[in-house]
Amino acid sequence: MTHDNGARLLSADEVVEAFRRELERQRKPQHTVRAYVGDVRSFRAHFEGEGGSLFPGGVRSDDVRGYLSALKAKPATLHRRRAGLVSFFRWAVSAKHCSESPVEGLDAVRLAPLRPTQRRALGAKEKKRFLATVKEHGTLRDQAVCELLLATAIREDELVHVRLEDVELGEHSGSVRVQGQGSRKRTIPLHRSVRRALSSWLAARPVLGPFLFPGRYGGALATSSIRRLVDKYERRSGVAGITPHVLRHTTLTELARRKGHDIALVAAYAGHAKPATTALYLQPTQQDMEAAADSLMED
């Protein structure tokens, strides 16, 4: 497993075991140790079952929110579960297994279940406006990052670990190899516009490290840098609510619903372990509901 800051790599199981040892070192009561470790394992199972990867460094606030909402438990139980995750992620940040806690600021009692219509996907005009803004104002690197996010539905924690050797570009075809959850790998074809953006970036890219988008010292770029990059062009474009995950969701929604591709193909494209996860992209968005309501007034 990997994370943003280059600390010694541990598998997810090793990280959880290290957390357990830390609780014991702090002389926490055994029932607390069992409860907190159980909370972490329960969350990890949910996270990976939903297609998440690179635990714990790849966990985002929406992942925790979705987990707590899915529990449908009493407030006291939600508080207990949240307390276990707060303890774990505070330790994980201090131990440099992730860069920031995704739990801070989430109030378990106020979490409402996430409805399918709350899963944000950009409309065609919003997508076009966002990309036009990146092309007009963005550096070659930023253009390549945003084109790749939208063309492949790659997760940001997968994107930052793409190496030069993982990219193949030709005049009429191209692909990128992606290391997903666990040992699963997938190869995603690249269409012409993203091949063009990557070729321009590679021609200007500094000779620094093995990664397609290197950080300052040649290591993997931090996922927080990808989020800040997308935030920058979200503000410039005036299209609210754009995140790397929204770009991923936009592409998968387009493949599954607007283009009507087979769900197994979309699951392979997304790197989902379970097609049931991909089925979420067949659910109607809020925009779909509004369009349906408007259609009732049409002759």
Backbone angles phi, psi at 176, to 5 degrees: -135, 135
Task: Answer whether residue 77 shows pLDDT above 80.
Answer: no
The string of pLDDT tens digits covering residues 176-231 is 999 876 557 889 999 999 999 999 999 999 998 999 999 888 888 888 889 889 99
Starting at the edge strand found earlier in the chain, the sheet holding 185-189 runs: 167-169, 174-179, 185-189
Q: Which CATH superfamily is domain 124-286 in?
A: Intergrase catalytic core (1.10.443.10)
Q: Which neighbouring-strand residues pair with 211?
A: 163
Average pLDDT in the 94-107 region?
Answer: 82
For residues 175 and 242, give the distance between their C-alpha atoms in angstroms, rounded to a whole number. 25
For residue 191, the Cα-to-chain-centroid distance in whole angstroms is 22
Q: Residue 113: what pLDDT?
A: 46
Task: Answer whether residue 287 shows pLDDT above 70.
Answer: no
Q: Which neighbouring-strand residues pair with 188?
A: 176
pTM over 0.75: no
Confidence band for 107, pLDDT divided at 50, 70 and 90: low
Helices then strands, each counted (H, E), the chain: 13, 3
Q: What percent of the chain has pLDDT over 90?
A: 35
**What does the H/E/C string look like for 151-176?**
HHCCCHHHHCCCEHHHEEECCCCEEE
Sequence spans of domains, the chain: 12-114, 124-286
First to last CA, the chain: 57
Between 214 and 47, the higher pLDDT residue:
214
At the second CATH level, the architecture of 12-114 is Orthogonal Bundle (1.10)
| Pairing outcome for strands 167-169 and 174-179 | antiparallel
Greatest mean pLDDT among 62-66, 240-244, 259-263, 289-293 lies in 240-244
Tell me the Ramachandran region of residue 218: left when phi exceeds 0, alpha when psi lies from -120 to 50, beta otherwise: left
Tell me the Ramachandran region of residue 43: left when phi exceeds 0, alpha when psi lies from -120 to 50, beta otherwise: alpha
Task: Answer whether residue 3 shows pLDDT above 60.
Answer: no
Mean pLDDT is lowest, of 46-50, 96-100, 199-203, 288-292, for: 288-292
